[in-house]
Structure 1
């Protein structure tokens, strides 16, 4: 039983109600009372507040049954918008979603600088564009979530971004003082794991998501929250050693997992050996379709070393769900079954191993979802994912 002062209890009850409305999509007051175990009087008072605030809407269902037509409650998705940003080397992606996490606009900007002051101004200019365009909604832009491909401390200070050469950057403060919008800074792999939990894996509170693109990032959701470690830097699984005295890594060690099981290694090798400067997935797909023996062998090695690291992660964390985010795995026939076939240990336990169906958009969608979670002040979101193209800003 929840105890405390009246304001605190009201806040907790409000959170339960919003969470259930989002989860069910549409729900009546009577059913809300049943699933939350709150009295009808409490439900009526809270719903009245939410209607007045414009956060929920009422819909009267048409039906032929005898009796009163049920009035259903649902979230007002257009009451405000969340802006997600993926800040990566050479490119910044933007996605604006409604309060149900559905993208309504997206765009990207290619950048040829790593200088913080220049990138800060690019971010400010684009955020202000979105802010000005969506002033007509009740709450406008309710927050900005930013995905960082590097180390983010618990206080949201950007500790280190390898490709940009940034150290100890207070991006959150620098943006908030200019735009007057709440900003949330998070590691890209964490946001990918959050997107997987929010949009797909609603029935688990223990999920790992490994992103395998330019390196290996590991996002960890434990009990519906990020597992961050002591300073917030947990998840650097790409730098666990899988080959003692193996290939040199920029981190200073040799034989790191990401040197053998990230897509970057395959792209780097093939670009050099086949003299293709802008090697893309389409090249690899073409070679695989032709049965290219060298490319096939590279993929088999990729899967082997990936399995070695996954075995370690499974034994360390015992996740319910483990999601792999890799375009190469999506392209390669039977990749998932081959990985599962390499996980022989009788002590390795997990419920589900899957390849992400969101892909590279997961971190920016996770950023939007994180903003929505904070704005609505709910413990967790259960949203649906619609893979559709969106117009540019």
Structure 2
């Protein structure tokens, strides 16, 4: 046996045990042994180490049968916290979650402009505030993941953000110089697709998530893994040309998909039609309820161009699950079926098309989940959104 094999096997067993504890939430040592096919002695030793680390906790299971109550194991969800950050065009969203992905704190901060230095300072100040909040926990902040609405390379360099007009920014290094926590930079659409897989569509191995807010981003999960491409540029479908010689885009081309089917472009165009400075979702809701003809026509055009892009994506990637992340589509009655009515090609195949329940939280939720997965070093993560009393 080569040196290090025993240590490697122990790590594999540890990851498997942690995964099963998270999956079942509460589980006995005996059930862990059955599910993992590991010996009871292996389970006992690993559980002892995890208890010493304060990563798991023990509790008695309530039951009415005669006999000794089984001792149950569960993740110590307050042992550490993950910080997810969604760095969008006009604002930055921060979510601090426990180790089960449950949000503990949420903040959204408006940014007045695209000045890179100013935004770096803002991020540093906020991160340090969250560090203080978590200072009493066993592990503190276990990781920070930042979602970028633009192109991120495989080595985590921000290659280009069209809305901010940033080129080749090393945000990871700029932040890690000032804070003592590992930072990970990721494309926001990739984080959205990861969130959908982790929190909602646990069994879907081939999932696409289309984010439609300030632009359009595509997150692709193939065989349960993110598809990033050679340099990390895969998924920039918002800049797929669907109207030759169409509207000019910040990317340098004309007729890009996001100019016709992003929420930002829709709201700007509708504001122009109604001679208003801007439009809100509430404005759109009221106009749809009133059956305003110009708004309904604009929605039809929005669906039409959305379907053109979706047809291309479906033909290219043949997804099992197609998730549309859009607040606007939630306002439009029967939106899913209206979109499906445009997806009629005999060579276009998918199993399920849904509008995301996670909405604008998807990016930060995916960021927190990725930080948790990396910290626990487990190959697969399935979490459940904690239900709150209404």
**d(CA) in 1 for partners of 2:235 and 2:286?**
34
Distance 1:362 1:287, change over 3 A: same
**What's the offset of the Cα at 1:301?**
1.4
Query: Which residue pairs with 1:115 in the alignment?
Result: 115
**d(CA) in 2 for partners of 1:296 and 1:17?**
53
Structure 1: 5+ residue stretches without partners: none
Query: Which residue pairs with 1:241 in the alignment?
Result: 241
Query: Which residue pairs with 1:357 in the alignment?
Result: 357
**What's the offset of the Cα at 1:387?**
6.9
Query: Which residue pairs with 2:168 in the alignment?
Result: 168
2:251 matches 1:251 = yes
More displaced stretch, 65-74 vs 290-299: 65-74
2:266 matches 1:266 = yes
2:230 matches 1:230 = yes
2:63 matches 1:52 = no
**d(CA) in 2 for partners of 1:285 and 1:379?**
42
2:105 matches 1:92 = no
SS at match of 2:78: helix
SS at match of 2:95: strand
2:372 matches 1:338 = no
What CA RMSD, in Å, does the superposition of the two structures yield over aligned residues? 1.6
For residues 250-301 of structure 1, the C-alpha deviation after alignment (integer angstroms, 9 at most, x for no partner) is 3333332222222222211122232222311111111101000111011111
2:135 matches 1:142 = no
Structure 2: 5+ residue stretches without partners: none
For residues 28-72 of structure 1, the C-alpha deviation after alignment (integer angstroms, 9 at most, x for no partner) is 111111221211111111111111100111111121213321111
Query: Which residue pairs with 1:323 in the alignment?
Result: 323
**d(CA) in 1 for partners of 2:201 and 2:166?**
34
Query: Which residue pairs with 2:73 in the alignment?
Result: 73
Aligned residues: 387
SS at match of 2:94: strand
For residues 339-364 of structure 1, the C-alpha deviation after alignment (integer angstroms, 9 at most, x for no partner) is 11221122222121100011111101
**What's the offset of the Cα at 1:113?**
2.8
Distance 1:162 1:251, change over 3 A: closer
Query: Which residue pairs with 1:199 in the alignment?
Result: 199
For residues 184-224 of structure 1, the C-alpha deviation after alignment (integer angstroms, 9 at most, x for no partner) is 11011111111111110100121100011122100111222
**What's the offset of the Cα at 1:128?**
0.5
Query: Which residue pairs with 2:296 in the alignment?
Result: 296
TM-score, normalisation: structure 1: 0.95
Distance 1:325 1:298, change over 3 A: same
Query: Which residue pairs with 2:215 in the alignment?
Result: 215
More displaced stretch, 48-57 vs 173-182: 173-182
**d(CA) in 2 for partners of 1:363 and 1:339?**
24
Structure 1 residue runs of 4 or more that deviate by more than 6 Å after TM superposition? none
